[in-house]
Amino acid sequence: MDAREMIARRAATELRDGQVVNLGIGMPTAVANYLPADVVLTLQSENGCLLFGATPSLGDEDPDVANAGGQPIKLLPGASIFDLATSFAIIRGGHVDVSILGALEVDQEGSIANWARPLAPGKFAPGMGGAMDLVFGARKVVVTVEHSGKAGSKILKKCRFPITGKGVVDVIITEKAVFEVTCDGLVLAEIAGGLVVDDIRAITEADFVVAEDVRPYHLSSP
């Protein structure tokens, strides 16, 4: 199991019956494939869809039905599709319970940076899209991000890239650990197998405290 699958599986365990859940572009879209069997919820895509399921098998996809990242999705019975204005009325109106987003970096204050920056002349990383609306419109914001990149830790004391939302993140999930964001800073809640607290400190720029009941990293069932 690679890091991205680990993160998606762990993110799926954050979800509960009856919720409306938005899955952001990139890593979060895979969460649809790992939803717990006993959880019934409604997935929302910002480009205008309610009630879809796991990624369809090759050959079973409909080229006219895709998520905001252009990846195929499979509509479930009772699903609806609509225009972008309606989709953002749902998001801005506070009707999304959980938003799961990818990030370039996140910090100990619960701020997230996940939008465009120049890579080379005429080339940019992915744009903000609806993320600014989602981090303020959703009741809970879960960030899925690999713990480190080529430049080092992605869990920082302070975001360096342009901020999508300040102090909006509730949970940070990496392949190494799970942090809860509180008014007093980050709390290390779960640690991946084979690692100890000192390992997490060595790869994390941000300051954090360790939960009294810190737990092993919990994944959804295969």
**Residue of 28, 57, 33 lying closest to 45 (CA atoms):** 28
pTM: 0.93
> Which residue in 5, 14, 46, 109 is the catalytic one?
46
pLDDT score recorded for residue 162: 87
Take residue 50 and report the two structure tokens written for it.
């309610």
Residue 221 included in any domain: no
Which domain range does residue 135 map to? 3-216
Take residue 70 and report the two structure tokens written for it.
């252009």
pLDDT score recorded for residue 1: 84
10 Å Cβ neighbour count for 55? 17
Question: Is residue 69 a contact partner of residue 44, using CB atoms and an 8 Å limit?
Answer: no
User: The CATH number of the domain where 212 resides is what?
Assistant: 3.40.1080.10
- Measured on CA atoms in the order 202, 112, 31, 221, is the torsion positive or negative? positive
Per-residue pLDDT tens for 164-185? 999 999 999 999 999 999 999 9
Number of domains into which the chain is organized: 1
Take residue 108 and report the two structure tokens written for it.
């100990």
190 a catalytic residue: no
